[in-house]
Amino acid sequence: MLDAIVDGIEFPDFAWAVGEEGSDPLVLADGVPYRQDQFEQSGHYSHVDDDLRSIAALGIKIVRYGAPWRLSEPDPGQYDWTLWDRALARCAEHGLEPIVDLLHFGLPDSFDGFADQRWVDSFCRYVEAFLDRYQEPRWFTPINEPGVTAENSGCLGMWNDRLASGPDHARILANIVLANLEALARIRGDRGGWWIGSEGFPVPVAVEPRADADVQALRAWTWLVWDLHFGRDPLPASARYLDPVDTALLERIRSLAVTDRVVAGLDFYPTSVLPVGGVAPEWSIHERVAFAVAEFRRWHDRYDVPFWVAETSNLSLGINDQIPWLLSLTDGLRGLRNDGLPVRGLCWYSRGDQFDWQTELVNPKGAVTEVGLFDVRRRARPVATIFAQLATQAL
């Protein structure tokens, strides 16, 4: 019976999708914790119907969407489904299939941070409650960008816990991967659902030959999140990095590792290309995409798992670069597909402009980050027309 259900929910061969930006980590503002609620800043809470309708009007059938966990569980064990009820009803009305995102950088206020392992069990109960209430969703991103969440909360000292050490980062990364895999086990057991992933995809580039070893080390470190999810031993440069993590926890993660019913999300932006060993040259859009295409190949050579670009935009580039960026990346993905790699889609992230992403959300001034298919006044940009046209074509 489950096999029949699984056959009915497979992800498209190539999906064109749009995301609604819903990050909500805690940062510091003038020394005081501040909730960076992107739904609040964009006005999405009062424009859910309009925003989802505008995505559907482009001919898009798939939307990445996640209501904040902290608002869906305002008190421990007490759920308020108002946001999810409204969003999923509007998705159904407008013919949109949601990829459900259940945790997007922020925890409920009852937890101190991701190092506080109590949140893992609470998150699993939240996932179970969601599955009990909503029978229709088929595709899930239980935790958005686990690696990015861990890096900014446990290594760089920017979000949530604001810790900044290797051992703290390793433990937080393990907690987040465990929670993601526990959630996936429940989703698969309930309805055979798919993990449609989303994860930051750094592309390290040596700007001088002597930096090659540093590139290998950075790649090994950033790919730890995939090694954990897929049950792989870390690359040699990071072989001992997870030593601070409890052995029993690592064994539990290994027992839950998945490689089927997965489309891994490799989130690629202009900012994803990282110079190593020197100052970055003035790379063109074409050069940045070429670096990413080569890194996609390396990643697939190691993991042999279908993937999609779960997030992209012109982040750090100008509005006039939106269309060239989209067309160049589309051409790069087409080339990979022509070579037989299982590239399963592209998601523009996001529908509308964002706020404060110029500083990774740590400077909460409400500065507009102009990356949307639609601007802050919800007017379509020229890139929206091109995206809609591409979505009608086979890649």
Closest C-alpha among 369, 47, 212, 192 to residue 55: 47
In terms of residue numbers, what domain contains 236? 2-390
Q: How far apart are CA 164 and CA 104, in angstroms?
A: 20
**Which CATH number does the domain housing residue 143 bear?**
3.20.20.80
**pLDDT, position 1:** 35
The DSSP line for 179-239 is HHHHHHHHHHHHH--EEE--EE--EEEESSGGGHHHHHHHHHHHTHHHHHHHTPPPPGGGT
Both tokens of residue 329?
Answer: 């990346």
DSSP state of 394: -
292: left (phi over 0), alpha (psi -120 to 50) or beta: alpha
Q: How far apart are CA 274 and CA 221, in angstroms?
A: 14
Q: How far apart are CA 23 and CA 149, in angstroms?
A: 11
**pLDDT, position 287:** 98
Closest C-alpha among 302, 236, 311 to residue 272: 311
- 270 near 314, Cβ under 8 Å? yes
**pLDDT, position 5:** 40
Tell me the pLDDT of the chain (395 aa) as tens digits: 334 344 446 999 999 999 999 999 999 999 999 999 999 999 999 999 999 999 999 999 999 999 999 999 999 999 999 999 999 999 999 999 999 999 999 999 999 999 999 999 999 999 999 999 999 999 999 999 999 999 999 999 999 999 999 999 999 999 999 999 999 999 999 999 999 999 999 999 999 989 999 999 999 999 999 999 999 999 999 999 999 999 999 999 999 999 999 999 999 999 999 999 999 899 999 999 999 999 999 999 999 999 999 999 999 999 999 999 999 999 999 999 999 999 999 999 999 999 999 999 999 999 999 999 999 999 999 999 999 999 999 89
Q: How far apart are CA 255 and CA 250, in angstroms?
A: 9
Partnered with residue 17 across adjacent β-strands are 62, 347
Its pTM stands at: 0.97
Task: Measure CA of the first residue to CA of the last residue in the chain; give whole Å.
Answer: 33
Query: Does 395 map to a domain?
Result: no
HSE value, Cβ hemisphere, 13 Å, CA-based, for 81:
11
Q: How far apart are CA 154 and CA 233, in angstroms?
A: 22
Helix/strand/coil percent split, the chain, to 5 = 45, 15, 40
**pLDDT, position 394:** 85
- Angle subtended by helix axes 118-133 and 166-191, to nearest 10: 20
How many structural domains are present in the chain?
A: 1
- Angle subtended by helix axes 166-191 and 247-256, to nearest 10: 30
- 72 near 79, Cβ under 8 Å? yes
Closest C-alpha among 311, 264, 268, 263 to residue 20: 311
Q: How far apart are CA 259 and CA 80, in angstroms?
A: 33
The DSSP line for 327-338 is HHHHHHHHHHHH
